[in-house]
Amino acid sequence: MTRQYAELHRPQFHFTAAKNWLNDPNGLVFCDGVWHLFFQHNAQATVWGEMTWGHAISRDLLHWQQLEHALYPDAMGTMFSGSAVVDHDNTAGFGPGTLLAFYTAAGSQVSPAKPFTQCLAYSTDGGYQWTKFHDNPVVDWIEDDNRDPKVIWHAASKQWVMALYLADDRYALLVSTNAQRWRQIQEVVLANDTECPDFFPLPDESGVERWILWSASGRYLVGSFDGRKFEPLTPLQVSESGFNGYAAQTWSNAPDGRCVQISWMAGGLYPEMPFNQQLSIPVELKLKGTGASAVLTRQPVAELNALRGKALVHTNRRISPGKPFTADTKARLFDVSFTVSTGSSKALYVMVRGQTLAFDWAEANLNLVNGRPHKLGLAEQSVRLPTKPGCAAQLSCRLIVDLTSIEVFINDGEVSASFCYLPDAHTDPLVLYGSGDAQTLEHLALFELRSIFEQ
């Protein structure tokens, strides 16, 4: 019998449930040195089904301990997605430092006569035991399957703010001073997206606080917020460009001003495994640029470096048809960064464990060959590269490779993309080869990674 967490397709440094189905990360909150991760979980089967909130904790964002489930279905419905915060000032009356969790009770999953509503639970022991509020729901049904409340504290206006998905591509902002009675202040459109809003502040490069309104497929607006209205400064932008990144959320109460995010890598395949689906590695978000030119960047959290082992470094390697670059490693897990000068070449192909990432310089696109877009179909079929089609350019790229996923970070996270894959036949885990004229691999650094399950 295969040891748990050592199964054939078990990710070795991404979070997976011990068994059965998971999807959206929920209730992300940092408290007393512990990162709490809750997640949509069907405790009964490896397919989507009756949703509970699973629960795991970590002190380093890498090594996770799965605990007893936190929230179970009740007469109001199954437990859909939501968020958690620390009530430092006792606004809700349960005591200073109480953790508050907001979730959707998906009533129509139990009875068509019961609509989706937003509910509250609280924990007075740092997030380990939860009690549902006696007077739920705290937000009555508004329309359709309104869901996925993301709550944050807005210090300037001394109130809680909830971002809530309504219907179509419309989202609402609501406010409350006690986390129990809410009123809607605004409706915002995030074109062509649905579900799982996030709402959080970040300083731009000039130090000015900006607010980001994020939707499930990684589309976002950067703007200002004064407690009464969110004013977008930018057009809708795309941060997560891969086939499989979905439903990302940021941790509340994160230390040292960090903005840390994790997402569901939707649509991965894990044939005949006791678990199904995985989360991404945690990433840290920052704003590049200022004002209307501000864009989000995403980078793997620094904690990932603790898994690094053997290192390989190469400089100034020419890649041309018939002359590929083959990394001297047999590792299945690795973290590789490279800088390439494209010259007048047509494409660069990066073969990872038999699957090919195609950097098409002529079209300025990136694709995972044979990649499988997730079932919701909202991710772009091609990732747009920050280069001009057919023009010579220099581009830096970092790939984080686990047994069933590749995460891509281009130009210091200006473009990022999540891909799920299953390995195909191969001799070497990493091979780079080109099409058209020669191009230069100016620098490549590969670190073999250890499993988080190694003793």
Residue 369 pLDDT more than 90?
A: no
pLDDT of 368: 87
Q: Is the pTM of this model over 0.85?
A: yes
Domains of the chain: which residue ranges? Answer: 20-300, 304-449
Q: Is 303 helix (H, G, I), strand (E, B) or coil?
A: helix
Q: Residue 3 has which token pair? A: 């040891």
Give the active site residues.
24
Q: Let me know: does 36 contact 28? Beta carbons within 8 Å.
A: yes
Residue 455 pLDDT more than 80?
A: no
Compute the average pLDDT of residues 195-211.
97
Confidence of residue 345 (pLDDT cuts 50, 70, 90): very high
May I ask the CATH class of domain 304-449? mainly beta
Measured distance CA(91)–CA(137) in Å, rounded: 18
pLDDT of 123: 98
pLDDT of 85: 98
Provide the pairing of β-strand 275-276 with 20-31.
parallel
Tell whether domain 20-300 is in CATH 3.40.605.10. Answer: no
Through-space distance between the first and last CA atoms of the chain, rounded to whole angstroms: 20
Query: What secondary structure letter does DSSP report for 279?
Result: B
> Which own/partner pairs from 48-53 qualify as long-range (CB within 8 Å, at least 24 positions apart)?
48/21, 48/23, 49/21, 50/78, 50/109, 51/78, 51/79, 51/80, 51/106, 51/109, 52/78, 52/79, 53/26, 53/27, 53/79, 53/101, 53/103
Confidence of residue 4 (pLDDT cuts 50, 70, 90): confident
Buried b (16+ CB within 10 A) or exposed e, 49-72: ebbbbbbbbbeebbebebeebbbe
Q: Residue 288 has which token pair? A: 């590049």
Compute the average pLDDT of residues 345-356.
96
Residue 377 pLDDT more than 60?
A: no
Alpha-carbon distances, residue 140 vs 99, 106, 158, 182 (angstroms): 22, 12, 23, 9
Task: Please give the mean pLDDT across all residues of the chain.
Answer: 94
pLDDT of 272: 95
Q: Let me know: does 83 contact 26? Beta carbons within 8 Å.
A: yes
pLDDT of 182: 98
Least confident of 4-18, 98-112, 171-185: 98-112
Residue 94 pLDDT more than 60?
A: yes
Compute the average pLDDT of residues 64-68.
98
Q: Let me know: does 350 contact 356? Beta carbons within 8 Å.
A: yes
pLDDT of 321: 87
Q: Let me know: does 111 contact 160? Beta carbons within 8 Å.
A: no
pLDDT of 43: 94
> pLDDT for 176-191, tens place per residue?
999 999 999 999 999 9
Phi and psi angles of residue 257, each rounded to the nearest 5 degrees, phi first: 70, 15
